[in-house]
Amino acid sequence: MALRDELSSHYDLAPSPELAEEMRDIYARMERVVSPPDWAIHAPYVAAINRLKKQRNAVILAHNYMTPQIYHGIADFVGDSLQLAVKATEVEADVIVQCGVHFMAETSKILNPSKTVLIPDMEAGCSLAESVTAADIDKMRRQYPGAPVVTYVNTTAAVKAASDICCTSSNAAQIVAAMDSDTVIMTPDQYLAQNVAKQVPEKRVVWWEGSCIVHEQYTPEDLRGFRDENPGTRIIAHPECTPAVVAEADFSGSTSGIIDYVTREQPEQAMLVTECSMASNISDQLPGVEFLGPCNMCPYMKKITLEKVLWSLHSMTGAVEVEPTVADQARVAVERMIDLSRRLAV
């Protein structure tokens, strides 16, 4: 039986303009980007998930790249990778539903192992996490003896376990600068590493050759062409873009850094050089900002849908497990990052 049919035998999921109207306050957070007929389809799912969440004593942690229906409709907490990791340490509920990709769910499990951590689609991967293994980290260590390994959180638990410390896009430069070594190994994002190397010229940064399939698509020519056609538009790029793209932008930062920047600056027009849902998620709270530019979706993030979230909470399937010895080692690297970030007040 298809998921939808199976779910419909337990929940009333028929599109309902009446329910959509009753849930107006939730819809108000996304009405600029979700049409009323679409909301009538989504509202029964949002209502069912929010009810079931209470029954299961569950919280939903959602990344900034989730669709507006997830971000505004069902999430208890939204944020960038660092904020989600910190939040995972504080969860007291029995169940965490991770609306994001697999490495984020693994990080929540590592940081709060007594909780059940569900990922609504096990196939929600990441091109960066797939690009490097623990054996590759050992290879880098042999190539640069004594150099610490700073690993982006976009990696498997085994890779984190083989590393000295983790980083995210919001603290990478500060973490690398704080390393007690002239040479620092950064894995697996070559572009994040190259962007950090520019910010921390006193270090020799060497990197693994991974990349994000969403951010690597942007070119400096795209940005220049866009600026020529839309003068005055503020261009804001995620540091997973190439250094040439970041150099063309007015600002670069993590997904939450981008939200903070646009909220602070309130430009008339903005182009977010990152995953497409970001602009959708913040456009209602920033009515004075017109978001322009192409829409690049992360196929992994977009595997997470309301239907799959409802299914995972209903069936309690999709629990993420991390082998305890790997989790213990990986926890050291993630907690080092969180502690250092706090000390550096990133």
What are the residues binding ligand 13P (CB under 6 A)? Answer: 64, 80-81, 126, 154, 168-170, 212, 240, 254-255
Alpha-carbon span 193 to 205, nearest angstrom: 7
Give me the 42-81 binding string for ligand SF4, x by CB under 6 A, dash otherwise: ----------------------------------------
234 φψ region: left (φ > 0), alpha (ψ -120 to 50), beta (else) = beta
Find the shortest distance in angstroms from Cβ 64 to ligand 13P. 6
127, interface contact from ligand SF4, ligand 13P, none, CB < 5-8 Å by kind? ligand SF4
298 touching ligand SF4, by CB under 6 A: yes
Looking only at residues 125 through 154 of this chain, which bind ligand SF4 when binding is defined by CB under 6 A?
A: 126-128, 154
Looking only at residues 211 through 240 of this chain, which bind ligand SF4 when binding is defined by CB under 6 A?
A: 212-214, 240
Find the shortest distance in angstroms from Cβ 253 to ligand 13P. 8
Find the shortest distance in angstroms from Cβ 208 to ligand SF4. 14
**Strand partners for 184:** 205
**Residue written as token pair 């169940």:** 95
106 touching ligand SF4, by CB under 6 A: no
User: Token digits for 167?
Assistant: 């980083």
Find the shortest distance in angstroms from Cβ 52 to ligand SF4. 26
Which is nearer to ligand SF4, 71 or 300 (by Cβ)? 300
H-helix segments, 74-133: 81-90, 102-111, 127-130
What's phi and psi for 62, nearest 5 deg?
-125, 135
User: What is the DSSP annotation of 302-339?
Assistant: GG--HHHHHHHHHHT--B----HHHHHHHHHHHHHHHH
3 state SS for 170-200: CCHHHHHHHCCCCEEEEECEHHHHHHHHHHC
Interacting residues toward ligand SF4 by CB under 6 A = 101, 126-128, 154, 212-214, 240, 275, 298, 300-301
